[in-house]
């Protein structure tokens, strides 16, 4: 879900920078880099959420055994 939102945001930003000047190209490149960073962070967040969920389930199982 987060990736879809980020992708849509990136497309809107790129569309708004549709010029051909050097500044526009630099801004577009920066947006692409930031979008890649956001995608990477989103993937890392999803992974961390799964790890937390698994740890919570393990803790719940341990507590049930006590």
* 38 half-sphere exposure, CB direction, 13 A CA radius: 15
The whole-number pLDDT of residue 54 equals 97
Q: Is 9 helix (H, G, I), strand (E, B) or coil?
A: helix
Distance CA 60, CA 4 (A): 32
Q: Which tokens belong to 32?
A: 């692409």
Query: From CA 29, how far away is CA 55, in angstroms rounded?
Result: 39
Number of Cβ within a 10 Å radius of residue 31: 16
Please report the pLDDT score of residue 2 as a whole number. Answer: 66
Per-residue pLDDT at 1: 60
Query: pLDDT, tens digit, for every residue of 3-53?
Result: 667 677 766 766 666 656 777 778 778 888 888 888 888 889 999 999 999
Grade residue 64 by pLDDT with cuts at 50, 70 and 90: very high
């Amino acid at each position: 879900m987060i990736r879809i939102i980020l992708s849509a945001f990136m497309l809107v930003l790129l569309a708004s920078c549709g010029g051909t000047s050097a500044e526009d190209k630099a801004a577009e490149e920066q947006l692409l880099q930031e979008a890649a960073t956001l995608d990477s962070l989103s993937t890392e967040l999803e992974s961390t959420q799964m790890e937390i969920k698994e740890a919570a389930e393990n803790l719940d199982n341990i507590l049930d055994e006590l």
